[in-house]
Structure 1
Amino acid sequence: MSEPLYSEHPAMFKNNPIGFIVSLLLIPVFGVGLLILLWWYLQCKGSLLTVKEHDILYEQGLLSKNRAEFSISGIRTVRVNQSFFNRIFGVGTIQIFTAGDQPEIEAKGMPDPNRVRELIKARQNGGAR
Structure 2
Amino acid sequence: MSNVVYEAHPSVLRMRPFGVLLALVLMAGGILVAVLGAQLVPPAFAAQLDGKILQLVGIGVFALSTLQLLTWWVSARSDRLVITDDELIWTHGLLSKQYTEINMASVRTVRVSQSLFQRIMNAGDVTVFTAGDNPELFVRGLPDPGEVRELVKANPQAGS
TM-score range, shorter chain: over 0.9
- Is 1:42–2:66 an aligned residue pair? no
Query: What are the equivalent positions in structure 2 for 1:5-20 lying under 5 Å apart?
Result: 5-20=5-20
Pairing partner for 1:67 from 99, 110, 124: 99
**Which letter does structure 2 place at the counterpart of 1:51?**
I
- The corresponding residue for 2:113 is 81
1:120 counterpart SS class:
helix
Structure 1 residue 24 displacement after superposition: 1.4
**Which letter does structure 1 place at the counterpart of 2:10?**
P
For structure 2, the 5+ residue unaligned runs are 31-60
1:63 counterpart SS class:
coil
- d(CA) in 1 for partners of 2:19 and 2:131? 34
- d(CA) in 2 for partners of 1:110 and 1:11? 6
Structure 1 residue 103 displacement after superposition: 1.2
Q: More displaced, 20-29 or 70-79? A: 20-29
Residue 24 of structure 2 contacts residue 65 of structure 2 at CA under 8 Å; is this kept in 1? yes
Query: What are the equivalent positions in structure 2 for 1:13-32 lying under 5 Å apart?
Result: 13-27=13-27, 28=30, 29-32=61-64
Equivalent residues, number: 126
- Is 1:109–2:146 an aligned residue pair? no
Structure 1 residue 2 displacement after superposition: 2.0
- d(CA) in 2 for partners of 1:5 and 1:69? 15
Q: More displaced, 77-86 or 22-31? A: 22-31
Show structure 1 runs of 4+ deviating over 4 A. none
- Percentage of identical aligned residues: 40
Q: More displaced, 27-36 or 42-51? A: 27-36
Under a length normalisation based on structure 2, what TM-score does the superposition of the two structures give?
0.75
Under a length normalisation based on structure 1, what TM-score does the superposition of the two structures give?
0.92
2:101 counterpart SS class:
strand
Pairing partner for 2:128 from 69, 86, 96: 96
For structure 1, the 5+ residue unaligned runs are none
Give the number of the structure whose alpha-carbon radius of gyration is greater: 2
- d(CA) in 1 for partners of 2:76 and 2:154? 28
